[in-house]
Structure formats: C-alpha cells, structure tokens
C-alpha cells in the first residue's frame, strides 16, 4: 500500500495511483497503455520543482505487470524542440496496426501556441518502451487559422486515436471558441499528416475550454470493456461515452450517446446534461482522467489525477505534489444510463486482517468503533438498510442544482431524520478531526432522493488546508435496495464508492491528530430514525512496491 512518511506525517505524494509515495513531483496522468503484457503509465512530471513551471514539464514513465507494483523508467519525453520548448503536456497513447505504440501529445511552442506532436518508440522489441523519438515532421497538428472553432492558445490533449472502415485515423482535441467548449476532430491516412475536418466532433455553449477529451465504446448489459478499435463496427448493444474535463469548475463530466460515423459527430442521448450539473466521473478532487482498454483482462480502466488541497508552500517544502487515484474499471449500468466504476480487483491482493461486524440496528446518535484494522490505511465495505420509511424529510427541488452546497449546509453534525449515517474516517480519539462519508434520505413528490456526502469540514486542525465538502444524489431506491459504501482510506486520501460504484467522491485530507496508529474508524447514525447495518467488512492494507529500480 501507499508508503507513509513518519517524518512529514502530512500531505503525502504518491506516484501512479494511491497508496504510493514518490520523492519527485507529479501532475496528472497521460497515455496509459498495455504493450507486450506490460502496463505503462506516463504522467506529467516536473523534474526540478513541485510546481507547474513553463518549459520544465516532461513525461514521467512507470511500468507494471499487475497494476499494483510499479517500476520507474527513464523520462520518456522532455521539452527539447521549438515546438515543445514550453513543455511536453498532456496526450494519449494509441496502438497502431502491427501492435506499434504511438504517442500524440501537446507541445507549447515559442509563440505560446499549443501544437500536437507525434513520438514513436525507438525500439519496438523493448517491452518497457524506455526510449521515444519525436518524428521530423512535427508538429503534426496545428490550429488552422480558418477554423473559428479552434483557439491556438487552447488546443490540447489529443485523445487515443481510432480507425474506421475507411482506413483513416481520427483523434479529438480539446479547445474552445469564446465561452464554448469544443472537441476538434482531426483525420489522417498515415498517422503523420493530419487535417482538420472543419467541424467540431462535439461542442457545447458556455462550457469554457475542454481538456482531456475521450471517446470510447461500451457494451450495455455486459461487464466487459471494449477497445476503441471497434468504433464504427459496434454491435447493437454498444453505446458511446464522451468524457470531457472542464477546466472550470475542474471536474470530469461525461455523457452516453452514439457516434454518428456518417457525419463524424457525437450525439448524446436525449435529456443528457453536458455541463457540471450532469454526470461526473467523480464529485470530489478528481480531474484530467484517462482510460485505456486492458486487452489482457478485457477491462476498460481509468485513472484520475487527485490534486492537493494544501498550499503551494507546503508542496515546495515537501518537494512533490499530486497523485493518481486507484485505477478503476468502468462499465455502463444495466440500463446504459450511467457509468459504474469500481477499484480494480488487484487492489484486494493487498488486504489483510479482515474484520467483520455482525448485522445490527444502529440507533439515533450511535457511534460504533471499528477496531482491529489500521484505520489510517484501510479498505472498508458497509451496507445499510432502512427498516421503515415512515418519517422522511421533505426534499426541496432546488437542491438538485447544488448537492455540494446542501452537504456543506447539512454536514455530519446536522441531525436529520434519516441521516446522516455512514462512516467517520481518519477520526481522532476525541473527534476533533474526522472525514465523514454519509447518506441522507429525503422524500420528493414522486420518489426518494438519496444524498451521498463527503464532509471534510473537520478533516484537519491545519488552518491552511482546503476543507471543502463534496456531494451528489445517488441513483438508488432506499425502499428496495440497500445503500452501500466502499471506502479506500490512505492517510491523506479517502476514495468513496456509493451504490456499488454509481457515485464516486475523492477527498484529500491532512489530519494532524488522526495519523498512523492514532487514526480511528467509526460507523455512525446521527439521524433520529434507526438504520440497519447489514454488512461491515474492513481490511488493513499491505504495502505495494513502488518506484522499484528498473533492474529489480
């Protein structure tokens, strides 16, 4: 699991995904892929200082055989040419015909324009892909002056490319025109010469610059992932997901719809909301997510960047900043209406010392300590059932517009009727500190509304850290379904998965008291009505091997 630094005891940095510590600065993920049975993660990397500095950002590189234990590789790409002299920024990897990897990434040129660069492996026989070569034809894509949908100052993050039956390659790139966010579509016959189609793949008014766009197919009703290479050849049970990172308010949104290959545009399902009020991959500190198809296990796996909630001065003092969240699998729900995410099963190999609490009713004002696990580094699964729904608070329809504000106003200490009930994680002995993840149930005219909240308002006694709360309404029926939470806890990060992965919230917290063996874990119910805990299993987590030397 993630390594905990006994000296700093706060604001740890982990590389590639959580439960890792690294001594060097890290930013968000780019270009995951699997090649010759080896998993590769490339990430935005600042080799000299833990802040974003123009002209220093490179591509760090780590490899793994199991997505758990990772080996450091040499820096893959550094700013060396006029077209990327301001930095080697985000991009994606694509497996070309003949099992040949390729990287498309954004370079910042001497004019501060953003252009797209192609790099290829120097040695295809090397399964670790330790050396990459920028081709002489770079840059391979620039913002065309005759296309008003593309802003050369905001033209970045090419997606994994795909090839249709016409033999042409396609990729989308995030951009904007005015306040309108857009995914520009470029096409190539040979993956080297790229041309703008002249129309956006998708554009939405008032959404600002789009970053890290991604299009991929999904199978409805199946637990399997599917490769981008089938685009244009999908069976009837396939749909498409367009994922966008909105720079403001820094969240990853998505819609499910269809890819119209005749017109080369994406059409979301009717009723989709293409703003921050719509579906998100995660409702907490989770941004610039990137997925890939794992051909070894037929899964689509996604990683998300989890940035810090402490000050830049703290990062400079430590010498690092930023982390990746736990890799997650992604499939659509059985109706094809939203994505369901879940930590990869490999994480479970790190579990030990399982603790199981018996089913029990937890009454109003109850607090039950979960002992026998390392509460600062744990994997917890809990399920709740509502015995009766006689008295339920009335739901105000305006709350659907801002569940985060609702969570902030009605936190873990605000007693309701059905809720708050859930878990207090990273709690100190006297409850001076804790991060609460809980549910509240409300009665709307036609259904029950279930709020899932991650309340960080008391997460740390450090006055300099951000203590925002995050929330969403969960698609679950409390009359017929149990309310489930799975929570991964690791010192400065709490990743919560509600309703079997329909809703996810990631938090960064920096307790001063609730650290190491002093951290505690509680189940609680501060509502006036009883709830039943039908299952509570918790595990301490072992350490993964991270930043292994290449010859290990």
Query: How far, in Å, CA of 273 to CA of 255, rounded?
Result: 7
- Give the pLDDT score at 551: 58
Nearest 10 degrees: Cα torsion 83, 86, 92, 96 = 20
- Give the pLDDT score at 30: 77
Quick one: which H or E segment has residue 550? none
- Give the pLDDT score at 546: 76
Q: What percent of the chain is helix, strand and coil (3-state, nearest 5)?
A: 5, 45, 50
Average pLDDT over the chain, rounded to an integer: 91
Taking only the tens place, the pLDDT of each residue in 367-419 is 999 999 999 999 999 999 998 898 999 999 999 889 999 999 999 999 999 99
- Give the pLDDT score at 28: 60
* 155-162: average pLDDT: 97
φ, ψ for residue 318, nearest 5 deg: -80, -40
Quick one: which H or E segment has residue 189? none
Report in angstroms the alpha-carbon separations of 49 from 31, 165, 317, 341: 22, 46, 10, 33
From 6-20, 269-283, 311-325, 441-455, the region with the lowest mean pLDDT: 6-20
Position 221 confidence tier, pLDDT thresholds 50, 70, 90: confident
- Give the pLDDT score at 478: 96
Say which residues have a Cβ less than 8 Å from residue 208's Cβ, sequence separation at least 6: 176, 179, 181, 246, 247, 248
Query: How far, in Å, CA of 103 to CA of 145, rounded?
Result: 25
Query: How far, in Å, CA of 475 to CA of 193, rounded?
Result: 45
Taking only the tens place, the pLDDT of each residue in 276-287 is 999 999 999 999
- Give the pLDDT score at 285: 95
Taking only the tens place, the pLDDT of each residue in 177-186 is 889 999 999 9
Q: Which CATH superfamily is domain 26-343 in?
A: Glycosyl hydrolase domain; family 43 (2.115.10.20)
> And the tokens for 527?
């509502």
In the DSSP assignment, the letter for residue 501 is G
Taking only the tens place, the pLDDT of each residue in 332-342 is 999 999 999 99
Question: Is pLDDT of 17 > 60?
Answer: no
Say which residues have a Cβ less than 8 Å from residue 23's Cβ, sequence separation at least 6: 13, 319, 320, 547
DSSP secondary structure of 122-187:
S-TT-TT---EEE-TT---B---TT-TT-BTTBEE-PPPPEE-TTS-EEEEEEEEETTEEEEEEEE
* 303-311: average pLDDT: 88
Report in angstroms the alpha-carbon separations of 468 from 195, 334, 413: 43, 33, 15
Taking only the tens place, the pLDDT of each residue in 478-504 is 999 999 999 999 999 999 999 999 999
Question: Is pLDDT of 1 > 70?
Answer: no
Position 9 confidence tier, pLDDT thresholds 50, 70, 90: very low
Strand pairing report for 435-443 and 393-394: parallel
Taking only the tens place, the pLDDT of each residue in 224-241 is 899 998 888 888 889 999
Q: Which CATH superfamily is domain 352-541 in?
A: Exo-inulinase; domain 1 (2.60.120.560)
- Give the pLDDT score at 207: 96
Question: Is pLDDT of 12 > 70?
Answer: no
Integer distance in angstroms from the first to the last C-alpha of the chain? 18
In the DSSP assignment, the letter for residue 24 is S
- Give the pLDDT score at 548: 67
Residue 457 near residue 466 (C-beta atoms within 8 A): no
Taking only the tens place, the pLDDT of each residue in 93-109 is 999 999 999 999 999 99
Question: Which residues belong to CATH 2.60.120.560 in the chain?
Answer: 352-541
Its pTM stands at 0.93
Q: How many Cα atoms within 13 Å fall on the side-chain side of residue 250?
A: 8
Place of tokens 């270009």: 31
Q: What percent of the chain has pLDDT over 70?
A: 94
* 455-459: average pLDDT: 97
From 28-32, 41-45, 356-360, 440-444, the region with the lowest mean pLDDT: 28-32
Position 316 confidence tier, pLDDT thresholds 50, 70, 90: confident
DSSP secondary structure of 26-77:
EEEEEEEEEETTEEEEEEEE-SS-SS--TTT-EEEEEEESSSSS-EEEEEEE
Question: Which residues belong to CATH 2.115.10.20 in the chain?
Answer: 26-343
- Give the pLDDT score at 26: 46
Position 29 confidence tier, pLDDT thresholds 50, 70, 90: low
Place of tokens 């670790």: 128
Position 550 confidence tier, pLDDT thresholds 50, 70, 90: low
> And the tokens for 402?
């801002």
From 8-17, 238-247, 353-362, the region with the lowest mean pLDDT: 8-17
């Amino acid at each position: 699991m993630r390594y905990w630094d006994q000296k700093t005891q706060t604001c740890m940095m982990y590389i590639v995904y959580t439960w890792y510590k690294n001594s060097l600065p890290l930013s968000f993920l780019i270009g995951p892929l699997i090649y010759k049975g080896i998993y590769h993660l490339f990430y935005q990397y600042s080799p000299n200082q833990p802040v974003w500095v123009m002209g220093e950002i490179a591509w760090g590189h780590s490899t793994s055989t199991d997505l758990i234990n990772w080996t450091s590789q040499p820096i893959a790409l550094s700013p060396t040419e006029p077209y990327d002299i301001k930095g080697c920024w985000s991009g994606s990897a694509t497996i070309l015909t003949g099992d040949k990897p390729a990287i498309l990434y954004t370079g910042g040129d001497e004019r501060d324009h953003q252009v797209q660069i192609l790099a290829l492996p120097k040695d295809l026989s090397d399964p670790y892909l330790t050396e990459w070569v920028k081709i002489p034809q770079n840059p391979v894509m620039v913002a065309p002056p005759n296309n008003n949908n593309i802003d050369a100052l905001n033209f970045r993050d090419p997606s994994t490319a795909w090839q249709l039956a016409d033999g042409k390659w396609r990729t989308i790139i995030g951009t904007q025109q005015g306040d309108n966010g857009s995914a520009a579509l470029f096409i190539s016959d040979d993956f080297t010469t790229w041309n703008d189609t002249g129309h956006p793949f998708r554009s939405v008014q008032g959404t600002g610059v789009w970053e890290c766009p991604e299009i991929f197919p999904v199978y409805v009703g199946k637990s399997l992932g599917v490769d981008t290479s089938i685009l244009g050849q999908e069976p009837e049970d396939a749909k498409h997901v367009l994922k966008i990172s909105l720079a403001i308010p820094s969240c990853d949104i998505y819609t499910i719809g269809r890819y119209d290959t005749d017109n080369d545009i994406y059409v979301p399902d009717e009723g989709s909301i293409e703003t921050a009020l719509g579906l998100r991959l995660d409702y907490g500190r989770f941004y610039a997510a990137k997925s890939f198809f794992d051909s070894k296990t037929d899964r689509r796996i996604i990683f998300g960047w989890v940035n810090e909630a402490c000050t830049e001065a703290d990062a400079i003092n430590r010498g690092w900043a930023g982390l990746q969240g736990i890799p997650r699998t992604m499939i659509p729900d059985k109706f094809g209406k939203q994505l369901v995410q879940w930590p990869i099963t490999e994480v479970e190999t790190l579990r030990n010392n399982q603790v199981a609490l018996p089913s029990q009713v937890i009454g109003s004002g109850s607090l039950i300590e979960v002992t026998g696990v390392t509460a600062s580094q744990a994997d917890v699964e809990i399920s709740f059932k509502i015995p009766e729904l006689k008295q339920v608070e009335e739901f105000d329809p305006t709350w659907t517009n801002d569940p985060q504000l609702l969570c902030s106003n009605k936190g873990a200490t605000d007693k309701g009727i059905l809720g708050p009930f859930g878990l207090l994680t990273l709690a100190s002995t006297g409850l001076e500190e804790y991060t609460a993840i809980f549910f509240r149930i409300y009665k709307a005219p036609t259904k029950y509304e279930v709020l899932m909240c991650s309340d960080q308002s008391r997460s740390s006694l450090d006055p300099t850290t951000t203590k925002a709360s995050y929330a969403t309404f969960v698609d679950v029926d409390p009359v017929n379904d149990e309310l489930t939470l799975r929570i991964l806890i690791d010192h400065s990060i709490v990743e919560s998965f509600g309703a079997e992965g329909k809703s996810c919230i990631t938090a960064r917290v920096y307790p001063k008291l609730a650290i190491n063996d002093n951290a505690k874990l509680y189940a609680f119910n501060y509502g006036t009505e009883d709830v039943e805990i039908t299952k509570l299993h918790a595990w301490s987590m072992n350490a993964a091997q991270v930043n292994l030397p290449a010859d290990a």
